[in-house]
Amino acid sequence: MINVTSHWTESKIEPDSVITPGSRPFNLLRWYSWLSLILISAVALVLGAVSAHFVVNESIERDLMLSAQFVRAVAEAEIRHSVLPETLTMGDLVDLRRLADADLPLEVVHDVRGEFLDHITHLPDALLANIYATDRRVIWSTNPDLIGHQSAANGNLDEAFSSKGRVGSTYFHVSAENHHEEQQFIRHPRTFFIENYIPLLDLNGDVAIVVEIYKEPNDLVARIKRGIWLIASTTIIGAATLYLGLFWIVRRASLVLAYQQQKLVENETYVAMGEMSSAIAHSLRNPLATIRSSAELALELDQEPAKKNINDIINQVDRMSAWVRELLQTSRPMSSRVRPVELVPAIEEALSACQLQLQTFRIDVDFAPQEQPLVLAHRVLLSQVLNSVLSNAIEAMPHGGVLRLKMDTDTAAGKLVLSISDTGNGMSHQQRTMAFKPFFTTKQGGLGVGLVTVKRIMERFGGKVSLSSYEQRGTTINLGFSLAQGS
């Protein structure tokens, strides 16, 4: 016995290219793969960049607002807790030139001014702090070398003096291009620093002084980096998930379209084949019958020398009549309903019908019938399937061989596979590919509709047919049936 393993797996159908006259093949899946990858990547990059920019700006803006609130709160508290008149502001005390004509206790003024400047000096993460008067001159700095220096062409500083109290902030990456004359840090930043401008107003609502603070907020930078990393990873994962999800949907749709296109082509082929077969068969039946009758009459009347030729005529007519019956059977609509059928008796009946051929070609049969569950089929159509497959197997062994039949039942899956194997010459790869195509045959004088009809009938049964064959190693046809419920 030959062990034949059959698998009930759906064969993959690659999406066919849509071809129109005068155009190149269009591969939907390939175009979608590239275009969607480019578009989704571009959208992900833009969204990631916008989100990262928003996080950085919002974080820096928040840090600026906290710094400004702290500086202004300290300034107001120092004035409020001193004995100085409430008409004074911290801008007046820091820029002593504004108090040149005022009669104030200088000791108190210096104490309040010193307390405020001490708070500025010890701001967390501060690299450098400068205080500018209205003439853009540095009147105080944590770097004494900058005191008295007058800033020129500083747009951010000019905007701070004209903003009526609105704070401003800029962040820089450490580089030679971003270095300015007033950025004489006592402690140099590593990679990133922030420049804040905090205006302090006088009682008239005009900007009296501007506090410029350079900071390297390490904790803020770490948080920004974590936020950017989170945005980047989320964007990449989201884009990949979206791409793979859409790719799966399009691939599935492409496979369905390809399968439907293939079935449409097959159906059109079947329709054309049926119309042609029916027309040819009906046109040939009557002439063939007349020729055979005339040949039989001539056989009775003629002498011995012509009998051999007349018998050849009758044999060829019988052969053509068989073709006509096969064509008519192929083109006939398969409207019979399936029902539970015993497979073993059908196999034994088909083998019995082929007994003469088996003996003629000296073919041994290896078949051990065992009780099997009922399968879904139609008795007449099942006989046609078995006869067609057995005839092909017998014709593949003209010099003798072994015909093996084996049944494998998978009750859990509700399937039964009948494997019919021969020890003939087998098929090449190209022949295996074309085996189920209409009008393809490897037999001299064959029509090429036998396996096509077998495939159609098995699909009508809700089953499948597959073929495995190798040159000089024989061919195996696997007929897959669905088990009847309750079997």
**Least confident stretch, 6-10, 15-19, 199-203, 302-306:** 6-10
**403 pLDDT band (50/70/90 cuts)?**
very high
pLDDT for the residue numbered 226: 86
Pull the structure tokens for residue 133: 């008067």
Tell me: pLDDT of 99 over 80: no
Tell me which residue of 479, 470, 482, 484 sits closest to 406, measured CA to CA: 479
Whole-model pTM: value is 0.45
Which of the pair, 484 or 327, is modelled with greater confidence? 484
Indicate the pLDDT class of residue 441, thresholds 50, 70 and 90.
low
C-alpha to C-alpha distance for 260 and 249, rounded to whole angstroms: 16
pLDDT score, position 174: 59
pLDDT score for 29: 77
Q: What string of DSSP letters covers 415-468?
A: EEEEEEE--S----HHHHHHTTSTT--SSTT--S-HHHHHHHHHHHTT-EEEEE
How confident is the model at residue 318, as a pLDDT? 72
Q: Which residue has the higher pLDDT, 42 or 311?
A: 42
Mean pLDDT of the chain: 79
The pair of three-digit structure tokens given for residue 134, joined into one six-digit string: 């209205």
- Residues 6 or more apart whose Cβ sits within 8 Å of residue 55: 224, 227, 228, 231
Poorest-confidence range of 48-62, 130-144, 341-355, 458-472?
48-62
7 — pLDDT class (breaks 50, 70, 90): very low
The CATH superfamily of 82-216 is PAS domain (3.30.450.20)
| Residue 92 pLDDT class (50, 70, 90 cuts) | confident
Q: Is the pLDDT of residue 335 over 80?
A: no
Q: Cα(300)–Cα(308) distance, rounded to whole angstroms?
A: 12
| Residues in a beta bridge with 481 | 416
**pLDDT interval class at 402 (50, 70, 90):** very high
pLDDT for residue 271 is more than 90 = no
Question: Is beta strand 339-341 parallel, antiparallel or unpaired with respect to 138-141?
Answer: unpaired
Mean pLDDT of 63-81: 87
More confident residue, 404 or 266: 404
Q: pLDDT band at 342, cuts 50/70/90? A: very high
Higher pLDDT among residues 150 and 277, named by residue: 150
3-state helix, strand, coil in the chain (%, to 5): 50, 15, 30
The least confident of 9-13, 183-187, 286-290, 340-344 is 9-13
Q: What was the pLDDT predicted at 35?
A: 85
What pLDDT sits at residue 278? 63
Q: Give the mean model confidence (pLDDT) for residues 419-438.
A: 83
Please return the burial class of 24, using the count of CB atoms within 10 Å of its CB with bins 0-12, 13-18 and 19+. Answer: exposed
Q: What pLDDT does 420 receive?
A: 93
Q: Residue 54: what pLDDT?
A: 85
**What's 146's DSSP letter?**
G
User: For the chain, which residues make up each domain, given as ranges?
Assistant: 82-216, 335-482
pLDDT average, residue stretch 416-445: 78
Residue 335, Cβ neighbours under 10 Å: how many?
6
Q: State the DSSP string of 249-273.
A: HHHHHHHHHHHHHHHHHHHHHHHHH
What average pLDDT does range 46-53 have in this prediction? 86
DSSP string, 198-261: EEEE-TTSSEEEEEEEEE--HHHHHHHHHHHHHHHHHHHHHHHHHHHHHHHHHHHHHHHHHHHH
Q: How confident is the model at residue 13 (pLDDT cuts 50, 70, 90)?
A: very low
- Residue whose entry in the numeric block shows the structure tokens 């017998």: 394
> In this model, does residue 215 exceed pLDDT 60?
yes
Check residue 404 and give its pLDDT. Answer: 94
Q: What is the mean pLDDT of residues 391-398?
A: 88
Residue with the larger pLDDT of the pair 34 and 1? 34
Q: For 281-330, what is each residue's pLDDT tens digit?
A: 666 766 777 777 777 777 676 566 667 677 777 777 776 776 566 556 65
Q: Looking at residue 235, what is its pLDDT?
A: 87
Pick from 155-159, 210-214, 427-431, 438-442: least confident: 438-442
Mean pLDDT to the nearest integer, 245-262:
84
Amino acid residing at 433: T
Q: What is the mean pLDDT of residues 416-422?
A: 94
CATH of domain 335-482: 3.30.565.10
**Interatomic CA distance for residues 382 and 9, integer angstroms:** 22
Q: Please write the tens of the pLDDT for every residue from 136-193.
A: 899 999 888 888 888 777 888 888 888 776 777 676 665 545 555 556 666 677 777 8
Distance of CA 156 to the CA centre of its chain: 50
- Between 405 and 228, whose confidence is greater? 405
